[in-house]
Chains A and B, each alone.
Chain A
Amino acid sequence: MSVLVYVEQADGKFKKSGFEAVSYAKAIADGQGTHLTAISIGNVGENELKELGKYGASKVLNVSSDQLKNFVNQAYASVIVEAAAKENADIVVLSNSFSGKGLAPRVAVKLKAGLVDGAVELPQTADGKFTVKKNAFSGKAFAVTELTSANKVIALNPNAFGTKESAGDATIENFIPEVKATDLTAIVKEIVRATDKISLPDAELVVSAGRGLKAPENWGMIEELANLLGAATACSKPVSDAGWRPHSEHVGQTGIAISPNLYIAIGISGAIQHLAGVSSSKVIVVINKDPEAPFFKVADYGIVGDAFEVVPKLIEALKAHKG
């Protein structure tokens, strides 16, 4: 038995959430007294593949093929399951990213395995049960889920476990899977990725704003603050519904759920649906002119004040801080 981790890449570079998945899978392998194999699909250079050893993979299966250079979940699931069989892996770990959400369920069905999506902690194996804690009710609760199947699939939430280096060297093995044509009927036509922006689901720092900003043209200072911090920008539901900001920035119960190290909410009152999507953030800062705003009840730091006065002060202070 062994553990297999699939590591996502974009343009030949592994993502931070991928290194987190390797670190997490290594801790599971240690707990099970076994070794960890990583699998990479797409065109990734040898130096980048070697990086996976630093986080605990003892072997890296490198699937480099033009046919598989774009992510097609149906084909990738087949490749991962073929690798799991070859490595005799009974636990498969992936990232709970946009792509991971389309991939992990297919892997689980192929392996007749239970799946925990959005895992936030390492599995517990006390009294012969294999349980994993995951987010549920959009951040309003956690569900401890027992996997009762022989094979198990876990999709790790970004920013939940961190990366852990463990001195090690990985051997790299080229792996040529069999790919069925019927697995490749979905065709990727175009990939559009803003390279100058930090992606919200992976972001460690997030600056978010709501209706308190009054108009879309007032977002300049929010973007400046985010740029200075190296943060992603986000918004509340009314703001994306009004078309002031794109839907992809909407965090909350019906948007996306995030758990950054720092979440700064500016001019957002903190409706229960919004709080659901951000409550697992490690540190929450709330800036609102209404001292009764419900958001203050779940904040770590608060400033009662007008965003148009407070935010420029923060920008100034950050510039001074950075020298």
Chain B
Amino acid sequence: MKILVCISNVPDTTTKITFTNDNTQFNTSGVQFIVNPYDEIALSRAIELCEGGKGTVTAINVGDSSTDPTIRKALAIGADDAVRINAVPRDAYFTAYQIAEYAKTGDFDMILCGRESIDYNGAQVAAMVGEFLDIPSISIIKKLDYDGTTATLEREIEGGKEVVSVTGKFIASCAEGVAEPKIPNMRGIMSARTKPLQVVEAVEIAEVAKVVKFETPAPRGAVKQVPAEEAAKLIDLLHTEAKVI
């Protein structure tokens, strides 16, 4: 079994988000980059499925050489090898196209990624890769079982879940519940240095979208404090002043 896992290089979750160049660029100064937390879940499940010599896990990232530490982290967690598509990811369409083009060169039984990246929150890549490859894509799954030919997945829906079964190649985007994120151990960290990391040049594709400007949310006014002993007043305020109930 061969599994391809898509890894996105994102700012740490505690990052305070600021912008430079007249709010057209994310300010990376002093920012710690990490493996996208949802991709970590996808990677951990892939490793579990391949445990005991049942298969191999390849991690793929679209990025320039600055993302190498994040890819090494994925190798330390337990991916067998890694590929970096050498390009600054322009948008999800571009990224998905690169991943799909690479996937065509290897005979992967499944492709896993996180439900969304925590920077652009696109949640687009999985379904786009699925469409580029003309294979089923299941977005935002909470559970993944695989018997060697058929996958059974639980997909999140509003107020519940849907159980989907797929036979043959597919791509799925993983959310919490699919696996506990694995933490790299010392052996993993040591071996990550020598595991293969292949660099592949990107394939050109026409641009369809670009971010022209970032904005930060308007600050809220001062908090209105209601004394605890008069908590009942809050209900009046929400009804007559805020008009939300």
Contacts and interface: CB of A to CB of B under 8 A. Distances in A.
A98 B242 contact: no
Interface stretch (A58-66, A208-216, A302-310): A302-310
B179 to A, nearest CB: 12
Contacts, number: 280
Interface in A207-266: 229, 240, 247-248, 250, 253-255, 257, 261-262
Given A248-B156, A255-B176, A273-B14, A297 B228 contact: no
Given A191-B162, A321-B235, A306 B209 contact: no
Contacts of A186: 136, 138, 164-166, 170
A312 to B, nearest CB: 9
Given A148-B209, A321-B239, A188 B217 contact: no
A189 B164 contact: yes
Nearest to A237: B176
Interface residues of B, number: 84
Interface in B120-167: 120-128, 130-132, 134, 136-140, 142, 152, 155-167
Contacts of B161: 191-192
Contacts of A309: 228, 231
Contacts of B131: 74, 77, 105-106, 109-110
Contacts of B17: 137, 140-141
A74 B142 contact: no
A205 B244 contact: yes
Given A143-B214, A202-B158, A285-B238, 14 more contacts: A103-B127, A105-B96, A106-B128, A117-B123, A137-B121, A142-B215, A143-B213, A144-B211, A144-B215, A197-B159, A200-B158, A262-B245, A313-B232, A316-B232
21 contacts: A98-B156, A102-B126, A103-B127, A106-B127, A108-B124, A109-B132, A115-B92, A117-B121, A138-B121, A148-B208, A186-B170, A191-B160, A191-B162, A192-B160, A192-B162, A250-B176, A262-B244, A296-B223, A301-B226, A304-B225, A317-B236
Interface of A: 10, 15, 71-74, 77, 97-99, 101-106, 108-110, 112-118, 129, 131, 133, 135-149, 182, 185-195, 197-202, 205, 229, 240, 247-248, 250, 253-255, 257, 261-262, 272-273, 276, 279-280, 282-286, 296-306, 309-310, 313-314, 316-318, 320-321
Interface of B: 11, 13-14, 16-17, 19, 37-38, 91-93, 96, 116, 118-128, 130-132, 134, 136-140, 142, 152, 155-168, 170, 175-177, 206-217, 220-221, 223-228, 231-232, 234-239, 242, 244-245
